[in-house]
Amino acid sequence: MFLPQHQAPRRVKYFQFFYSSRVCAIHTECTAGQRNHARLLLVEIGNRPTPRSTMTAIAEKVLSAKNSAHDPPRTFVVMGIDGAGKSTAIATLVQELHNEQIPARSLANAAGRRWLNNFSLNSGIRIPRVLQELIETTVRIFNVVRNSLAAAHAPGLTVMDRHLYCQLVLRHVRGHKPGLLLPWLARKCTENTTVILLDVEPLLAFERINARAEDEEPLEYLQTARAEYLRLAKLHGWLVLDASVPTTQLVDQLRMIAGK
């Protein structure tokens, strides 16, 4: 029990009844984050006289939170090298939340790099690096701005797959300077988000990429990109998760961070 031992027996009995009848429902119907929130509310109100109507209203508010269309917007930005399992983890997370009727969506901030590489390979037309960088940066900025506006007006959790920092990592790997505009935009567009880096050993990422047989990435590229992502994570204080664990475990960690 959460109540002090010196409280009146009648009050204790009443609180026990409320706890058993309402919180059992919370355990059954709510997510872990909502259950913890409910416990904190009950601990807080357990130390002072509170009308039954108020306690019931609090519990009902917690119980209905997962179905609320007014869940405040919150944005996750998930990044990492190719083969880190970003798309798989995001898709699994969003599907789990949908199954529990919790508002959530995934938005991809693609740059078209894979399409440009495949086009160049299949057509035999070599795209100049400067032109490819310009196309990728333009497409990425457009997608980030569009998706950021959508996330700001959508209830619940929005999980973005990649961001402008991914383009900065590409520039670093290619030996290009970051410039002034792109780093500034990357910082501004992630100010009100939770940035999460999925970190994985380059060799494991290399094996995953080869297994899916959709594209190719040199091991040296993955090693350099990972080092730059980790440098940026340390510089900006991002959350770093071990992406070598099973997807279910990774999704559990993401849900814990989201409180869902």
Paired residues of 195 in beta bridges: 77
Predicted pLDDT of residue 212: 86
**pTM of the predicted protein model:** 0.70
Judge whether residue 56 has pLDDT over 50. Answer: no
155: Cβ–Cβ under 8 A, 6 or more apart, which residues? 68, 69, 70, 71, 72, 73, 103
Q: What is the mean predicted confidence (pLDDT) over 213-233?
A: 92
Angle in degrees, CA 57, 59, 60, rounded to 5? 65
* Structural domain spans, the chain: 9-67, 74-258
Instruction: Kindly write down the DSSP assignment for every residue of 130-188, as one continuous string.
Output: HHHHHHHHHHHHHHHHHHHHHHHTSSSEEEEE--HHHHHHHHHHHT----SHHHHHHHH
**Structure tokens belonging to residue 115:** 């399409």
Q: Which pLDDT tens digit goes with each residue over 153-203?
A: 899 999 999 999 999 999 999 999 999 999 999 999 999 999 999 999 999
Which CATH number applies to 74-258?
Answer: 3.40.50.300
